[in-house]
Structure 1
Amino acid sequence: MRITQGCFSFLPDLTDDQITAQIEYMLSKDWAVGIEYTRDPHPRNTYWEMFGHPMFDLKDAKGVMMELDECRKAHGDGYIRMLGFDNSRGFETVMMSFIVNRPTDEPKLHMQRTDVNGRSQVYAWDAR
């Protein structure tokens, strides 16, 4: 199973050149760039661990790519995503996020639907 979250989730994994192009787009919008990682990619797990600090006032994508390389060294066996934050309204709003690293063996999830009480349905899932 392939985890699909954020922008580009149904496309093949982005290359480093494509990631750099997306970072340049975020920087052209004056968005702060952040890097997060997790081992639990469940869609309800919206709070991933932040790697370092959000990169405010950064003007060069190479700085973000250096930080991404460090995150890959430390957490390369998990999921890593890139986020673009817009603070033009006085608070941070995630404008863009996409996965930039996946583990070699992604977890398998199994969804079980059970009909109960007439038309009601109950869902359960387990990792395999």
Structure 2
Amino acid sequence: MRITQGTFSYLPDLTDDEITQQVRYALDNGWSLAVEHTDDPHPRNHYWDMWGLPMFDLHDAAGVLYEVNECRTAYPSHYIRVNAFDARYHRQTTALSFLVNRPPAEPGFRLDRQEDTDRRLRYTLHPYAADRPAGDRYR
């Protein structure tokens, strides 16, 4: 199963040149960039670990790609994404978000069905990766 979160997630993985082009687009629009990673890509897990600090004053796409590659080296089996934030509205607004790294094997999710009162059905997603301890989910 392939996780589809963020822009371009239905496309094949982006090459470093394509990542650089997207970063240039974000910088040309005046957006600040940040790199995040996680080993738990559950759709409700909005809080990924940040790699370093947000790059508010960076104006070179090579610097962002350098940070992406450093994060890939440190966490080769994590999901890594680049976020671009638009500060025009004076609040944290994500203008662009895309994955730049995936683990070699993505185990997917299970849909758990629960019967509730008045014949209601409730569904929850259970990631197979969460059956293993944090930090060891994609080895």
5 Å-filtered alignment, 1:71-90, equals: 71-90=71-90
Q: Which residue of 2 aligns with 1:30?
A: 30
Q: Which residue of 2 aligns with 1:126?
A: 126
**Could you say what the CA RMSD is over the residues aligned between the two structures, in angstroms?**
1.5
Which secondary structure does the structure 1 equivalent of 2:67 belong to?
Answer: helix
The TM-score normalised by the length of structure 1 is 0.92
Q: Which residue of 1 aligns with 2:56?
A: 56
Q: Which residue of 2 aligns with 1:10?
A: 10
Question: What are structure 2's unaligned runs of at least 5 residues?
Answer: 129-139
What CA distance in whole angstroms lies between the structure 2 residues aligned with 1:16 and 1:35?
14
What CA distance in whole angstroms lies between the structure 2 residues aligned with 1:62 and 1:125?
38
Report the alpha carbon displacement of residue 88 of structure 1 after superposing the two structures with TM: 1.6
1:125/1:90 CA distance change after superposition, 3 Å: closer
Q: Deviations over 1:34-57 (max 9, x none)?
A: 000000000100010110111112
Counterpart residue identity of residue 51, structure 1: W
1:117/1:14 CA distance change after superposition, 3 Å: same
Question: What are structure 1's unaligned runs of at least 5 residues?
Answer: none
5 Å-filtered alignment, 1:101-112, equals: 101-112=101-112
Report the alpha carbon displacement of residue 107 of structure 1 after superposing the two structures with TM: 2.6
Identity of aligned residues (%): 50
The TM-score normalised by the length of structure 2 is 0.85
What CA distance in whole angstroms lies between the structure 2 residues aligned with 1:24 and 1:75?
24
Contact 2:42–2:127 under 8 Å retained in 1:
no
Deviates more, 1:103-112 or 1:22-31: 103-112
Report the alpha carbon displacement of residue 118 of structure 1 after superposing the two structures with TM: 5.1
Q: Structure 1 residue runs of 4+, over 4 Å off? A: 114-119
